[in-house]
């Protein structure tokens, strides 16, 4: 299972998240501008594999970004908080550590603009095989 699939499974199973964003609107990167708001786009950044002199080890770190898109600041913020609460901590051997929150607003999207709450995590997972 990829890290994206693991994150999706956790978010789709979190009642606090799906109360605000149905699982079908939790997506990896793609052309989602026609999705109904709110929706979530999530993806890994900057892998940090553990390399020893004898080779790459299963422990892999990632910076992971979850972007929460909504029509209002308060809606985007609420989704971001729900995502943070769902992912923070240990889940089946994968450790998520919430590290950053950024808020963005794009006024030229749609009729009234779009708010984006960006939640960033440090993720550590043990892979069954190296990347």
> Stretches 14-22, 26-34, 46-54, 103-111: which one binds another protein (CB under 8 A)?
46-54
**Binding status of residue 124 toward another protein by CB under 8 A:** yes
Backbone angles phi, psi at 53, to 5 degrees: -65, -20
**Binding status of residue 36 toward another protein by CB under 8 A:** no
Q: How far is the CB of 129 from another protein (least distance, A)?
A: 16
User: Taking CA 18 as the corner, what is the angle to CA 26 and CA 90, rounded to the nearest 5 degrees?
Assistant: 80
**Binding status of residue 43 toward another protein by CB under 8 A:** no
- 8/62 with CB nearer another protein: 62
**Binding status of residue 126 toward another protein by CB under 8 A:** no
User: Taking CA 75 as the corner, what is the angle to CA 78 and CA 44, rounded to the nearest 5 degrees?
Assistant: 65
Is the Cβ–Cβ distance between 66 and 21 less than 8 Å?
A: no
Residue environment code for 69-95, b if the CB has 16+ CB neighbours within 10 A, otherwise e: bbbeeebbbbbbbbbbebbeeebeebe
Sole binder of another protein in the list 52, 111, 128, 129 (CB under 8 A): 52
Sole binder of another protein in the list 53, 92, 128, 131 (CB under 8 A): 53
Quote the CA–CA distance of 90 and 94 in Å, as a whole number: 6
Sole binder of another protein in the list 59, 102, 104, 109 (CB under 8 A): 59
Site residues (CB under 8 A) for another protein?
50-54, 57, 59, 61, 97, 122, 124
């Amino acid at each position: 299972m990829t890290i994206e699939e693991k994150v999706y499974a956790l978010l789709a199973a979190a009642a606090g998240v799906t109360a605000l964003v149905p699982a079908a609107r939790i997506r990896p990167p793609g052309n989602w501008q026609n999705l109904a708001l709110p929706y979530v786009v999530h993806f890994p950044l900057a892998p940090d594999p553990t390399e020893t002199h004898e080779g790459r080890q299963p422990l892999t770190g990632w910076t992971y970004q979850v972007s929460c898109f909504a029509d209002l600041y308060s809606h985007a913020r609420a989704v971001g908080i729900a995502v943070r609460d769902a992912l923070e901590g240990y889940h089946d051997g994968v450790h998520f550590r919430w590290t950053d929150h950024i808020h963005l607003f794009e006024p030229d999207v749609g009729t009234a603009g779009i708010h984006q709450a960006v939640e960033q995590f440090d993720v550590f997972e043990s892979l069954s095989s190296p990347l």
